């Protein structure tokens, strides 16, 4: 048993239990819980962000936005992604503290006034189930197999090539010969259409190919969101802070990924999905499954995905929000204007601009950020981050599609 993973899982589940009922699954519903736990310089563990969610808007739903609505609606409400957005909100708050010379749990200035992470601070990621996409593709264990003739159940061999593209799941049991049904866990995430390798959809082990980048499953038509395995891989490679925060803070990496108990899990598939399939990704977080399982996970009594999400973050002020369809719960499209989730692109961008103002005032004695800058251009101005991302895109992440720029070309004022 991994002690740290167990504590991370318990802290996230306990925090979830302590939150009010609104937005949580009904009796027959399930959801996914994700969270980020901070181990601070005194080695104390605390939950700093937490979210639930299973939904993702389709490309059509996303395109159907008016100009003022750009950046205000969440396209991807999988728990893993919402917990990361809540984490970004936490980072802005910590940044604000350090800029005002107040004590921050995670940041400090070095001698040359650069903002750095405090020594011995680390971040640990929890997800109540294996993330969708590549990490979810692995053979079922013997007790999950459905033998057609019990006398013929044989062990399979899993042969996973090290390099991306050479990844294959093979079996030394020809399923028809042995009369044994050998199958894999499947993911609803489909390969990006420009990937050379595409799923074969053959029965058994050859249903999926492993390695390619995948698009999240969504309602009806295709979504524009990448699978959680791919997003985790990107965060692992260039940091979980994202483009905007990279202007102000160093890359922040996750040290542990802990998957909740009582759900299908393969350490090998997780490692492959998060870093091994990318030849140019060096960071390897610890990957573990906890014994602790999330109470509202998918199970025989909980068969419907919960449509709402809860999002919580350790900041002063509004900590808890509930969202449905990528908007604040109870807010219709008509009333959406000006009533945004704090973790929407628009609100995080607004926080970013305020902090940049503060930063310039303190560091350079001036206040001069261009208010008319678009979200897209603000992200592009993170040159170091963009350089790392372009390098990765040129190498392992070639098929990663660019987000339509019109969805990112909004200004706040
Ligand atoms: Zn997902």
- Report d(CA 41, CA 43) in Å as an integer: 5
pLDDT digits (tens, 9 = 90+) for 384-399: 999 999 999 998 899 9
User: Residue 369: helix, strand or coil by DSSP?
Assistant: coil
Q: Which of 19-28, 138-147, 246-255 has the lowest mean pLDDT?
A: 138-147
Of the candidates 380, 345, 377, the residue with the CA atom closest to the CA atom of residue 89: 345
Cβ–Cβ < 8 Å for 97, 103: yes
Q: If you measure from the C-alpha of residue 229 to the centroid of ligand 1, how many angstroms do you get, rounded to a whole number?
A: 7
**What does the angle CA 278 – CA 276 – CA 2 come to, to the nearest 5 degrees?**
145
Tens-digit pLDDT profile for residues 23-56 = 999 999 999 999 999 999 999 999 999 999 999 9
The average confidence (pLDDT) of the chain is 87
Element (H, E) at 277: none
How, if at all, do strands 107-109 and 138-139 pair? unpaired
Instruction: Report the catalytic residues.
Output: 80
Check whether 173 has a pLDDT greater than 90.
Answer: no
Judged against a pLDDT cut of 50, whether residue 260 lies above it is answered with yes
Residue 177 is predicted with a pLDDT of: 42
Which residues sit opposite 288 in a β-bridge? Answer: 258
Q: Where does the pLDDT of residue 17 fall: very low under 50, low under 70, confident under 90, or very high at 90 and above?
A: very high
pLDDT of residue 365: 67
Rounded to the nearest whole angstrom, what is the distance from the C-alpha of residue 30 to the centroid of ligand 1? 14
pLDDT-derived band at 358 (thresholds 50, 70, 90) equals: confident
Instruction: Rounding to the nearest 10 degrees, give the CA dihedral for residues 135, 139, 140, 141.
Output: -110
Q: Is the pLDDT of residue 65 over 90?
A: no
Q: Which residue has the tokens 């899990």?
A: 265
Q: Which of 82, 368, 100, 406 is nearest to 228 (CA)?
A: 82
d(CA 97, CA 132): 35
Position 1 scores a pLDDT of 65
Query: Which one, of 18, 47, 16, lies nearest residue 32 by Cα?
Result: 16
> 86 near 240, Cβ under 8 Å?
no
Query: Is a pLDDT exceeding 70 seen at residue 152?
Result: no
CA distance 130 to 305: 16
pLDDT at 69: 80
| Structure-token pair, residue 316 | 């002063």
The residue length of the chain stands at 413
Predicted pLDDT of residue 156: 32
Check residue 5 and report its DSSP letter. Answer: H
- Please give the residue that has the higher pLDDT: either 156 or 368: 368
State the pLDDT at residue 2: 77
Query: What is the 83 CA–ligand 1 centroid distance (Å)?
Result: 12
* Mean pLDDT value of segment 172-194: 69
- Is pTM beyond 0.85? Reply is yes
Label residue 297 by pLDDT band (50, 70, 90).
Answer: very high
Decide if 285 contacts 302 (C-beta within 8 A).
no
Element (H, E) at 352: helix 345-364
Strand ranges (E), 208-271: 214-215, 254-259
pLDDT higher than threshold 70 for residue 183: yes
Q: Say what the pLDDT of residue 151 is.
A: 31
In angstroms, the Cα distances linking 390 to 87, 245, 384, 402 are 24, 17, 10, 11
Could you tell me the distance, in angstroms and rounded to a whole number, from the CA of residue 55 to the centre of ligand 1? 8
Residue 367 has a pLDDT of 57
**Can you tell me the distance from the alpha carbon of 124 to that of 116, in angstroms, rounded to the nearest whole number?**
18
Between 376 and 149, where is the model more confident?
A: 376
- Distance (Å, rounded) from C-alpha 85 to C-alpha 71? 13
Distance 146 CA to ligand 1 centre (A): 27
Angle between helices 79-99 and 228-238 (to 10 degrees): 30
Considering only 65-79, 229-243, 283-297, 345-359, which range has the smallest mean pLDDT? 65-79
Per-residue confidence (pLDDT) for residue 142, from 0 to 100: 64
Q: Ligand 1: distance of its center to the CA of 54 in Å?
A: 7
**H/E stretch holding 311:** strand 308-313
Query: 216 C-alpha vs ligand 1 centroid, how far in Å?
Result: 7
* Mean local confidence (pLDDT), 117-142: 95
For the cut 80, the answer to whether the pLDDT of residue 166 exceeds it is: no
Q: Kindly state the average pLDDT of the residues 294-299.
A: 97
Distance between Cα 131 and ligand 1 center (Å): 5
User: pLDDT, tens digit, for every residue of 303-341?
Assistant: 999 999 999 999 998 899 999 999 999 887 777 788 899
């Amino acid at each position: 048993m991994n002690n740290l993973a167990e504590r991370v899982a318990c802290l996230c589940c306990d925090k979830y239990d302590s939150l009010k009922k609104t937005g949580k699954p009904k009796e027959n519903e399930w959801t996914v819980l994700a969270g980020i736990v901070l181990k601070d310089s005194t080695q104390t563990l605390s939950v700093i962000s937490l979210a639930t969610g299973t939904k993702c808007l389709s490309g059509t739903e996303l395109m159907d936005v008016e100009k003022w609505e750009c950046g205000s609606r969440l396209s991807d409400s999988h728990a893993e992604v919402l917990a990361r957005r809540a984490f970004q909100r936490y980072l802005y708050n910590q940044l604000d503290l350090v800029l005002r010379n107040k004590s921050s749990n995670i940041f400090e200035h070095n001698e040359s006034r650069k903002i750095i992470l405090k020594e011995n601070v680390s971040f640990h990621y929890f997800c109540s189930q294996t993330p969708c996409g590549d990490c979810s593709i692995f053979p079922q264990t013997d007790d999950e197999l459905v033998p057609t003739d019990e006398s013929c159940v044989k062990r399979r061999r899993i042969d996973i090539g090290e390099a991306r593209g050479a990844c294959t799941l093979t079996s030394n049991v020809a399923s028809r010969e042995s009369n044994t049904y050998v199958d894999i866990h499947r993911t609803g995430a489909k390969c990006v259409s420009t990937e050379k390798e595409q799923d074969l959809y053959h029965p058994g082990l050859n249903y999926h190919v492993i390695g390619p980048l995948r698009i999240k499953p969504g309602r009806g038509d295709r979504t524009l969101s990448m699978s959680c395995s791919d997003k985790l891989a990107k965060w692992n490679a260039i940091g979980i802070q994202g483009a905007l925060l990279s202007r102000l803070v160093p890359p922040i990496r996750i040290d542990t990924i802990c998957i909740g108990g009582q759900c299908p899990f393969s350490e090998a598939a997780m490692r492959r999905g998060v870093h091994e399939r990318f030849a140019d990704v060096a960071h390897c977080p610890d990957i573990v499954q906890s014994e602790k399982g999330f109470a509202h996970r998918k199970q025989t009594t909980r068969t419907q995905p919960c449509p709402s999400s809860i999002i919580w973050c350790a900041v002063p002020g509004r900590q808890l929000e509930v969202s449905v369809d990528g908007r604040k719960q109870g807010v219709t499209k008509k009333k959406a204007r000006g009533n945004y989730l704090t973790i929407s692109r628009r609100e995080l961008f607004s926080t970013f601009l305020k902090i940049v103002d503060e930063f310039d005032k303190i560091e350079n004695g001036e206040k001069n950020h261009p208010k008319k800058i678009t979200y897209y251009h603000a992200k592009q101005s993170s040159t170091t981050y963009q350089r790392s991302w372009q390098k990765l895109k040129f190498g392992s992440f070639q098929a990663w599609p660019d987000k339509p720029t019109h969805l990112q070309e909004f200004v706040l004022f």
